[in-house]
Structure 1
């Protein structure tokens, strides 16, 4: 550990960041499996629902909002979608980016309630420069505010062969990796922001991902959180068949604490129980509410480190070169902190509060008329149900490829599903209703004639040229 500590100190990382890495490294060396058998947990069956909560009166809300900060996790580059800058800089609706809409939501809340709720972006070293440059032009008043940016730490990659810090002179930046969003806690502590927010009277922190436009500051939830006096509340949604492989909320029998159980924490024998959505009903939306004074007290009582479960990712030092040396990237998840507190809670929220954009399928649907922007600058469904979009990965997985094939996003407000196989070019004046499949078996893009399509299969494959 000494070599890791030296390397992290030389890079200017805080004692809190080093302490968090030390805990992860100790778990790695000890061979901690993190397995949580079905027999050691019990399912969570009953939780309060957001629809049953009521907001406080307007005067109290103003006071609560003055004690609240909204923190958006903005460290992701969206590399799986072919991006090399912050995913939040992608245009999503009416030419506006995620960041535009998030900033406008904050401004709207301030104006509506006459209260200056704090705004914080947690950037990584990869997203900080681009994000601040963009906001300086479009929402300069926000990014220039005190503590508008929290900078994520970085973690040294571990050489899988020697368990020492990896050395990669070809590109020293490859020796480091993001520590996962569980890094929010050591970042708040090590940067001094936790102390500054506390001194400024900020008591409540709402945290969510910047690519989830459904995660807005809900005043009913804020009121409930304040009244509950809990240290930590997780927003959960009801699992569907599409969520069965994702993690779920449960209680550990040994101490009765809430915990997040991921698929990697299960043996093969427990797989069926893990995927039983009628038993394990709720998943983490990654929308979290944190009581800052209680977080501060917990960190002080645990030598500045929350004991979060380790996420061990085995990769190569150069992720684009499979022949480069194997490494371990040590990460943690911020939602797993639910097991660190004596008095956490969870609230069931509607699916609309969990609408992340992880793929171009998500982005294509979001850009369509199936979604609309409200007066409060939130994005909500305009259709009875969000359409299921499945675009051919070979031609649409990367944003620039999808954009090149989309002259105009078709109308999806009446669509149930849209499946596209092969390269298909979309033009203005196209609409879909019900279930539509469009295919093109050739390698050359084919334009879909602009008209209304309803419950149909459209084959655009050119006729074979006679020999």
Structure 2
């Protein structure tokens, strides 16, 4: 049996849908052919003339009509493994003992109560996050809308041996033989699960998509009205880039046909990195908040026989991330934002940074738990200062959530801080306040900042 057939059989053995296997197969052929997924600077133009969220102004009835046809989908497949978690990151307490999931539910309820519409909320879970998430959602029995489900399941695929491209075997932990196929699986999972057709039959037309760990991406009726008004099949939310954003994906215009395409960091050749990082040329980054017309997606999936023409992202790593000596594997991935190139007439809108608040590390978590951020009446997290302080915690002691919570059991006052850098094994008492630029140096032994301490820097 050849390597591809072995991978296909492995996917069938766990009951994955044929459509997911077809998508995997299409990407596998790209991998065999040596596709790098690189997008050369010579083949693109910078994105310009982008609409702005600040220009949106609609009456209540227009907002209500758009919200009544919109569904909110949150990508919830991540375990927060970079923070040492073993459950859905969305269940992590973030503010006032409320989790990401609690605040997302509150955001949806705010729109429902304000406009009097049934705004559905669905989660795309992975096989690792589904049970915990549905258990948490069981505490919100009124969240369900009609016969619509609260979630649908992201597919999975085999990790491939980097040398043979055969599905890797790892008896020490068979779960490590599998990986998620990237966020672009959203389209396959929606279709193969039947949820896409269910939403269309229930009268919904538009979908708002964002990551569950981005509490800035609230369901905004003005954005819903804007997208409905454009008539576009697809739209991406973008923000102005800063030096901190050069490693993220950004939208560009393909010279050959004028279509918008997403260029991820992994798709930039070494010789193009300087040009791609030029903020005066490529001014916008992709927030991973996007919108699409459900009917347009249905039509494109039908035309493409269920396999959208998306570029490959070749992700190489060790089968056991904690063991650098374990075999190297390839994960076949694709970005959901890459689908913007599939839809003729796709567009973009510039949004405030407030709509982009991802939590990828405990540095981000400390900031959101601090007094720098407040929860507004729409349950969106918003910064109370124009210049948000930077946080850099020693990864040896703060990377894992258990160690972080042990050393930082209380929120830290950062409202008047410019930066906080912690080196070494420090713990913090209650009511600690940071002012200016503060650096706590590694003193070679555990140290404690007493409750009520004001740390003042430059």
Tell me the TM-score range normalised by the shorter chain: over 0.9
Output the CA distance in 2 between the equivalents of 1:191 and 1:407.
41
Partner of 1:40: 43
Alignment of 1:129-148 (within 5 A): 129-137=131-139, 139-142=140-143, 146-148=148-150
Partner of 1:401: 403
Task: State yes or no: 1:17 paired with 2:20.
Answer: yes
Partner of 2:31: 28
Specify every segment of 5 or more residues in structure 1 that has no aligned partner in the other structure, as ranges.
Answer: 457-467
Q: Secondary structure at the match of 1:181?
A: coil
Q: Deviations over 1:82-109 (max 9, x none)?
A: 1111101110001000000001111111
Output the CA distance in 1 between the equivalents of 2:448 and 2:431.
16
Q: Secondary structure at the match of 2:9?
A: helix
Whether the 8 Å contact between 1:16 and 1:304 is mirrored in structure 2 is yes
Distance 1:159 1:425, change over 3 A: closer
Q: Deviations over 1:320-363 (max 9, x none)?
A: 33333322111111001111111100001111111101110110
Alignment of 1:353-392 (within 5 A): 353-392=355-394
Partner of 1:319: 321
Task: State yes or no: 1:103 paired with 2:108.
Answer: no
Distance 1:418 1:319, change over 3 A: closer
Instruction: Point out the more displaced range, 3-12 or 115-124.
Output: 3-12
Q: Deviations over 1:414-448 (max 9, x none)?
A: 21211222222222232122222222412223234
Output the CA distance in 2 between the equivalents of 1:393 and 1:3.
39
Alignment of 1:207-246 (within 5 A): 207-246=209-248
* 1:156 alignment partner, one of 155, 158, 169: 158
Output the CA distance in 1 between the equivalents of 2:144 and 2:327.
40
Q: Secondary structure at the match of 1:221?
A: helix
Q: Deviations over 1:22-47 (max 9, x none)?
A: 11101000101222221111111221
Alignment of 1:191-210 (within 5 A): 191-210=193-212
TM-score (norm: length of structure 2) = 0.95
Distance 1:398 1:38, change over 3 A: same
Whether the 8 Å contact between 2:19 and 2:188 is mirrored in structure 1 is yes
Q: Secondary structure at the match of 2:288?
A: strand
Partner of 1:465: none
Distance 1:60 1:130, change over 3 A: same
Whether the 8 Å contact between 2:36 and 2:313 is mirrored in structure 1 is no
Q: Return the offset for 1:167.
A: 3.0
Output the CA distance in 2 between the equivalents of 1:122 and 1:144.
16
Whether the 8 Å contact between 1:73 and 1:122 is mirrored in structure 2 is yes
TM-score (norm: length of structure 1) = 0.94
Alignment of 1:55-134 (within 5 A): 55=58, 57-134=59-136
Partner of 1:50: 53
Q: Return the offset for 1:150.
A: 1.2
Specify every segment of 5 or more residues in structure 2 that has no aligned partner in the other structure, as ranges.
Answer: none
Q: Deviations over 1:356-391 (max 9, x none)?
A: 011101100110111111122221112333221111
Output the CA distance in 2 between the equivalents of 1:431 and 1:318.
40
Output the CA distance in 2 between the equivalents of 1:316 and 1:290.
35
Aligned residues between the structures: 454
Task: State yes or no: 1:247 paired with 2:249.
Answer: yes
Output the CA distance in 2 between the equivalents of 1:153 and 1:442.
46
CA RMSD of aligned residues (A): 1.6
Instruction: Point out the more displaced range, 430-439 or 180-189.
Output: 430-439
Q: Return the offset for 1:61.
A: 2.1
Partner of 1:347: 349
Distance 1:118 1:268, change over 3 A: same
Output the CA distance in 1 between the equivalents of 2:72 and 2:264.
27
Q: Return the offset for 1:159.
A: 2.2
Q: Return the offset for 1:228.
A: 0.7
Output the CA distance in 1 between the equivalents of 2:276 and 2:313.
18
Distance 1:452 1:316, change over 3 A: closer
Instruction: Point out the more displaced range, 366-375 or 33-42.
Output: 33-42
